Amino acid sequence: MIVTFYIFISWLLIGLFIFNKIHQHASLNEVTLLILLSCLINTHTYVGLFDTFKWMKTTTDTELFIGVLIYKNVFVPLLLTCFTFLIKRNPWNKKILYFIFFSLIILSVDFINVFQGLYSFKQWNHFYTFLYLSFLLCGLLVTLKWFRGLDSSSGGENNVVD
């Protein structure tokens, strides 16, 4: 059931990228950069939490473990990328509302994961998950600003007239 939930929600997020106006405010390179960067950071963080530090214990059930993999490798990077573009392009009052909405989604999904038995906490809790994903969202916002700055700073140097 949880695998179906994450596949459905992930397809909805992909639909937002394809059919929504997000593609008007972002290039394919920006979307790809943010998805791959968030997937890389998120996957390695959860490997550290599960295996290295043993702060979280993952399930041994195969179906639930597939749910964990879809959650950390597909759902979270898509959600972070979507909210990065939503927060970046809106005024401050909407940025705050989107961040609150992001926080509610993250906490709700974390409660669902623990309730469904995808993982359990040892030296970790829901607040730490919220902090980690909030810092990752801020890092993606800084990365997007940096990446867009690369395009504008190199634009003047390439226009050399002979």
| Residues near 10 by beta carbon (within 8 Å), at least 6 away in sequence | 70, 74, 75, 78
pTM of the model: 0.88
Domain layout of the chain by residue ranges: 25-147
User: What is residue 73's DSSP assignment?
Assistant: I
Cite the DSSP H helix spans in 20-160: 28-47, 62-70, 76-89, 92-116, 126-155
Model confidence at 18, in pLDDT bands (50, 70, 90)?
confident
Q: What is the pLDDT of residues 44-76, one digit of tens each?
A: 998 988 888 999 999 999 999 999 999 999 999
